Chain A
Amino acid sequence: MRVEGSPALEARQLVRDLGDEVKTRILHGIDLTVAAGEFVSLTGPSGSGKSTLLYLLGALDRPTSGDVFVDGIATAKLPTAERDTLRGERLGFVFQFHFLLPEFTAVENVMIPLLHRRNVRQADAHAQALAVLATLEMHEFANRRPNQLSGGQQQRVSIARAIVHRPKILFADEPTGNLDSKAGLAVMEIFEKFVRDDAMTIVMVTHEPSYAARAQREVKLLDGKIAEIVVPTHKAA
């Protein structure tokens, strides 16, 4: 069900239990709304439920109860095939471990989200992937395999893969967690550019306070609940 005039992302009373016999409640009734074009960071100590919340918001997981609305579409009970389509068309993901496919070159990795679309030819996907790599200053590494790239370069390729299909919302799970400070800073600048220039909505999980502070809002989680929502002073101004 799609609700008109809705925010980019909305979580309503989101509960997630994990475990088969002994259930552990990871999230306790989270309510969160993210506006279109907003950059939100999720922070909190390990085990606070940041990544679990991100996976639920990104329709990678189903909540025990409650619902998530992506662009107004309720995703909790959405059939699997439609969730796959939703992710493929409207969402993009960047993970801490870039998850690049080792058999493919950088440009081929970026092409992958486009290839299974019916109306995209391989040549067009290649051109599109090259263009995206160029915007991330990675075009000269387009034909290298992941193992021929540095950690920062690999993460740039994974960002290119996440945005090549022009998603409305980008989810990033500790995208700088595996990078040195310089490369991490570069990733943050890329995200800020996406928000500024493309009005992309970004939800990012991070442990790094300085990166969290660069978002428009910082949602602090503690024990599966939202402990605090902080708007950094420079953003508030």
Chain B
Amino acid sequence: MKAELFIAARQLWHRKMLNSISVLGVMLGVLMLIAITGIMRGMQTRFLGTILEVSPHIVVYDQTLAVPRTVVDTLLGGVSVTHVSRQASSDRQQQIARPRETLAAIRTLDGVTAVAPLVVGSAVMSVGSKELPVEMRGIDPMVQDIVTPLRGWIVRGSLTDLNAAGDGVMVGQQLADLLGVTIGDNVTCASARGVPVSMRVVVLFSSGITALDKGRVYVAARLAQTILGRGDAIDRIEIRLANPDDAPAVTARLEALFGYDGESWQTTNASMLSVFVQQNLITGLMIGAVLMVGGFGILSIQIMIVVEKRRDIALLKSVGYSSRNVLTIFLVEGIVVAIIGAILGSIGGHFLLLGMRQIKTVSGMGFNKPSTFAIYEAPIVYVLAFVFSISVGLLASFFPAWRASRVEPVDVLRGS
């Protein structure tokens, strides 16, 4: 191997200008891989991180999964071949039965770290002549803070204030601005079925998600039940898991055990996750194309060198170098070009990401907090860049190397 390395190194150095072009091709491929992966994965990671922070990992709704029996089924006392085109909604209030026992049972499941009961409904919040629709969430503030950490959003006031005040409400900063209220001000809230209640703003929050900051309010569960006319019903349970990736499996288990409709965060955000899959596919194709271009650079330059070096190859073979020795020389050259390209591309990619971290931006997708570019940078990306570029170098140089190994010295000598 020492002879092959010695010859390959010298040949590479001798044609440094030409080989620099190959190196440049690989370098650009690796740089693209690191930069695009860094940006795309960074954006996805930040989005998922935010989603997992502000959303529960699983939501259990008050909808039962069993198919409701029709009037005909009931009358005939068994299974009937009937088709009900429209069944009027029942007047009976949907709710999670025996919520205390259900919550306790869910807490015992493997992987569940926190469980919070909720009452959720639509209401209208008004101050003077200003009225705005809001999504009202009746919570146990301290418990809810474990499931979907609210504490980090708070701009003014505290969860203790919300917990202590019987008539307290936690309002999004943007909603407060629209209504023209602040801490200590009174607002009135009413729903179609409940009783209008006057409340006091005790907490202002800013989640960074416009939809929440403009349209959601948190109150104590008992107060929400009154405003929404729900009696003592609990219509939603939110769950936090030790490992968010387990959500689909735990959801399936919950549905089987309790018969209520459950939804994992992956299902809730399925459309966005599918966009990520497509993004990753497009990113992969782009990076693959750039690396392929780099590979073609190596291929074309290596072919040129092999044609040019036929006489030298013939000489090497005449002094006892085997086809395998010659093959190795040109493979080593391709791999060395790829490694140098990968090293330079990695360094360039790292500094590019460092630079991008400094750029101020406002993330899209409903986030309203000004931020810098979300960048993902992990050793595995660099390892992958090396693996890909060395594979490309190996593949691209194989054909020229094989051609070189097939050179018959006598053909060259006759030609000379």
The residues of A with any CB-CB pair to B shorter than 8 Å are: 51, 55, 58, 60-61, 80-81, 84-85, 87-89, 92-93, 95-97, 99, 101-104, 108, 112-113, 115-116, 122, 161-162, 173
B183, CB-defined interface residue at 8 Å: no
6 inter-chain pairs at a CB distance below 8 angstroms, sorted by A residue, are A60-B318, A95-B413, A101-B312, A112-B7, A116-B321, A161-B319
Stretch at the interface among B9-17, B79-87, B142-150: B9-17
Smallest CB-CB separation from B323: which chain A residue? A80
How far apart are the CA atoms of A24 and B321 in the complex, in Å? 30
B2, CB-defined interface residue at 8 Å: yes
How far apart are the CA atoms of A108 and B31 in the complex, in Å? 37
Shortest CB-to-CB span from B286 to chain A, Å, is 37
B195, CB-defined interface residue at 8 Å: no
| Residue of A61, A84, A115, A116 ringed by the most chain B CB atoms within 10 A | A116
| Residue of A58, A80, A103, A104 ringed by the most chain B CB atoms within 10 A | A103
B360, CB-defined interface residue at 8 Å: no
Contacts of A113 in B (CB 8 A): 319-320
B278, CB-defined interface residue at 8 Å: no
Tell me if A84 and B322 are in contact (CB < 8 A): yes
Tell me if B10 and A97 are in contact (CB < 8 A): no
Tell me if B413 and A173 are in contact (CB < 8 A): yes
In-complex Cβ contact of B6 among A51, A61, A99, A122 (8 A): A122
Binary CB contact string for chain B from 297 to 330 against chain A (1 if under 8 A, 0 otherwise) = 0000000000000011011111111111100000
The verdict on A112 contacting B318 (CB below 8 Å), with A55-B413, A97-B416, A102-B14 known, is no
Smallest CB-CB separation from A116: which chain B residue? B3
How far apart are the CA atoms of A161 and B319 in the complex, in Å? 9
Contacts of A80 in B (CB 8 A): 322-323
Contacts of A81 in B (CB 8 A): 322, 324
In-complex Cβ contact of B325 among A61, A87, A104, A116 (8 A): A116
The 3 residue pairs across chains A and B that have the minimum distance between CB atoms? A88-B320, A115-B3, A103-B14
Tell me if A87 and B11 are in contact (CB < 8 A): no
Q: How large is the interface on B (under 10, 10 to 19, 20 to 34, 35 or more residues)?
A: 20 to 34
Other 9 A-B pairs with CB < 8 A, given A61-B410, A87-B320, A161-B319: A55-B410, A60-B410, A88-B319, A95-B315, A101-B315, A102-B14, A112-B316, A115-B7, A116-B4
Contacts of A103 in B (CB 8 A): 10-11, 13-14
Contacts of A88 in B (CB 8 A): 319-321
How far apart are the CA atoms of A66 and B302 in the complex, in Å? 39
How far apart are the CA atoms of A112 and B4 in the complex, in Å? 10
Tell me if A115 and B2 are in contact (CB < 8 A): yes
How far apart are the CA atoms of A128 and B323 in the complex, in Å? 26
Smallest CB-CB separation from B411: which chain A residue? A61
| Residue of A81, A88, A97, A162 ringed by the most chain B CB atoms within 10 A | A88
Contacts of B3 in A (CB 8 A): 112, 115-116
B157, CB-defined interface residue at 8 Å: no
Tell me if B410 and A112 are in contact (CB < 8 A): no
B121, CB-defined interface residue at 8 Å: no
Smallest CB-CB separation from B412: which chain A residue? A99
How far apart are the CA atoms of A80 and B324 in the complex, in Å? 11
B194, CB-defined interface residue at 8 Å: no
Smallest CB-CB separation from B414: which chain A residue? A51
In-complex Cβ contact of A93 among B311, B319, B324 (8 A): B319
Shortest CB-to-CB span from A172 to chain B, Å, is 12
B348, CB-defined interface residue at 8 Å: no
| Residue of B3, B318, B409 ringed by the most chain A CB atoms within 10 A | B318
Contacts of B320 in A (CB 8 A): 84-85, 87-89, 113, 116
How far apart are the CA atoms of A113 and B13 in the complex, in Å? 21
Smallest CB-CB separation from B324: which chain A residue? A81
How far apart are the CA atoms of A62 and B7 in the complex, in Å? 28
Contacts of B416 in A (CB 8 A): 95-97
Smallest CB-CB separation from B317: which chain A residue? A84
Smallest CB-CB separation from B309: which chain A residue? A101
Contacts of A96 in B (CB 8 A): 416
Contacts of B413 in A (CB 8 A): 51, 55, 60, 95, 173
Binary CB contact string for chain B from 386 to 416 against chain A (1 if under 8 A, 0 otherwise) = 0000000000000000000000011001101
Contacts of A60 in B (CB 8 A): 318, 409-410, 413
Contacts of B323 in A (CB 8 A): 80, 84
Smallest CB-CB separation from B312: which chain A residue? A101
How far apart are the CA atoms of A106 and B347 in the complex, in Å? 38
How far apart are the CA atoms of A103 and B333 in the complex, in Å? 14
Smallest CB-CB separation from A92: which chain B residue? B319
| Residue of B13, B315, B316, B324 ringed by the most chain A CB atoms within 10 A | B315
In-complex Cβ contact of B315 among A92, A99, A173 (8 A): A99
| Residue of A101, A102, A104, A162 ringed by the most chain B CB atoms within 10 A | A101
Contacts of B312 in A (CB 8 A): 99, 101
Shortest CB-to-CB span from A35 to chain B, Å, is 24
How far apart are the CA atoms of A61 and B318 in the complex, in Å? 10
How far apart are the CA atoms of A104 and B9 in the complex, in Å? 11
How far apart are the CA atoms of A103 and B308 in the complex, in Å? 13
Tell me if B318 and A93 are in contact (CB < 8 A): yes
Smallest CB-CB separation from A158: which chain B residue? B315
Name B174-203 residues within 8 Å CB distance of A. none
Shortest CB-to-CB span from B314 to chain A, Å, is 7
